């Protein structure tokens, strides 16, 4: 075990981080298992190495009901993520992986898309509270891949990407999905839509509909995304919007 409270340990780790920056060219850090040490310690490493970006993995369990599914209200879960950023320094480069959004999306795409509108009418994950500090993802090397610890429904992965790549937050694409699953072109199209229309971490989200079989949202007044099998949504799409990307149970205008 590493004693992060030991001043010599802190000094040597800071020196190593600055070497990675200056000599190797890294400009951001990923804090693995960040709940294993205090936010105060992470703050020391960030403040003394000054990365342009830092993201923490704070993976805790969602709140579940008697049916084994996540409760609609996950405020306690996302509050933990927000608290970490607050303690490290909300004005700095620190962010957290949005495990709240990941957990809700996992279930929502299985015919429960109503879950994607929180009780306050906003996104139910960390992106609904502090999108600038939320790194969204569909799967990573722990949840998907060979470890398969909390995988996204494999036949609905592109619905997940249609969501995170059109929504606020900073989306993260899983290497395996992009290079090994044959989804490169589909993901590329969504990335192009995001880039072309300037969708960013703090873009404005307006949820138009969130029903069992349909989720429809508008972002920055420029992009509309639909998830779910409901086909006839033409009456909900404002004039002037054209389909820019589509696939199995998703479309983007």
Domain CATH for 108: 3.20.20.80
- Is residue 238, in this structure, part of any structural domain at all? no
> What's the pLDDT at 170?
98
- Is residue 21, in this structure, part of any structural domain at all? no
- Is residue 156, in this structure, part of any structural domain at all? yes
Strands 53-56 and 94-97: parallel
Q: How far apart are CA 190 and CA 203, in angstroms?
A: 16
**Residue 198 vs residues 33, 63, 113, 205: alpha-carbon distances, Å:** 32, 34, 26, 13
Q: How far apart are CA 210 and CA 43, in angstroms?
A: 38
> What's the pLDDT at 230?
96
**pTM of the full structure:** 0.97
Residues 153 and 111 sit within 8 Å (Cβ to Cβ): no
- Is residue 223, in this structure, part of any structural domain at all? no
> What's the pLDDT at 2?
86
Q: How far apart are CA 29 and CA 61, in angstroms?
A: 24
- Is residue 215, in this structure, part of any structural domain at all? no
> What's the pLDDT at 1?
78
Domain that holds residue 165: 58-202
CA nearest neighbour of 135 among 179, 60, 79, 81:
81
- Is residue 137, in this structure, part of any structural domain at all? yes
Q: How far apart are CA 232 and CA 178, in angstroms?
A: 30
Task: Report the chain (253 residues): mean pLDDT per 10 consecutive residues.
Answer: 92 98 98 94 98 97 95 96 97 98 98 97 98 98 89 97 98 97 98 98 98 98 98 91 97 98
Q: In what order do the strands lie in the sheet with 134-137?
A: 28-31, 53-56, 94-97, 134-137, 170-172
Strands 170-172 and 134-137: parallel
Q: How far apart are CA 165 and CA 218, in angstroms?
A: 13
Which residues are bridge partners to 241 per DSSP?
A: none
Q: Which of 57, 110, 142, 202 is catalytic?
A: 57
Q: How far apart are CA 135 and CA 117, in angstroms?
A: 19
Structure tokens at 161: 């990407």
**Cβ neighbours of 23 (radius 10 Å):** 8
Q: Which of 3, 12, 32, 50 is catalytic?
A: 32
- Is residue 91, in this structure, part of any structural domain at all? yes
32 catalytic, yes or no?
yes
- Is residue 149, in this structure, part of any structural domain at all? yes
Residues 104 and 69 sit within 8 Å (Cβ to Cβ): no
> What's the pLDDT at 147?
85
Q: How many domains does the chain have?
A: 1
pLDDT tens profile 67-82: 999 999 999 999 999 9
């Amino acid at each position: 075990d590493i004693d992060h409270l030991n001043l010599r340990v802190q000094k040597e780790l800071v020196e190593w981080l600055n070497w990675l920056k200056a000599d190797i060219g890294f400009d951001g850090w990923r804090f693995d298992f960040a709940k294993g040490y205090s936010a105060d310690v992470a703050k020391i490493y960030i403040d003394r190495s000054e990365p342009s970006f830092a993201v923490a993995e704070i993976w805790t369990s969602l709140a579940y009901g008697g049916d084994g599914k996540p409760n609609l209200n996950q405020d306690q879960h996302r509050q933990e993520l927000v608290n970490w950023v607050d303690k490290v320094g909300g004005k700095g480069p620190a962010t957290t992986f949005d495990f709240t959004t990941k957990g809700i999306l996992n279930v929502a795409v299985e015919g429960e898309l109503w879950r994607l509108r929180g009780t306050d009418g906003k996104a139910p994950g960390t992106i609904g509270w502090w999108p600038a500090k939320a790194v969204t993802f569909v799967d990573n090397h722990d949840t998907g891949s060979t470890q398969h610890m909390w995988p996204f429904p494999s036949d609905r992965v592109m619905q997940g990407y249609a969501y995170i790549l059109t929504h606020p937050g900073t989306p993260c694409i899983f290497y395996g999905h992009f290079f090994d699953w044959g989804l490169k072109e589909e993901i590329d199209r969504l990335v192009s839509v995001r880039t072309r229309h300037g969708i960013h971490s703090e873009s404005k989200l307006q949820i138009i509909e969130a029903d069992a079989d349909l989720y429809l949202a508008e972002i920055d007044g420029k992009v509309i995304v639909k998830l779910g099998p409901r086909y006839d949504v033409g009456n909900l799409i404002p004039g002037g919007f054209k389909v820019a990307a589509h696939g199995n149970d998703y479309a983007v205008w």
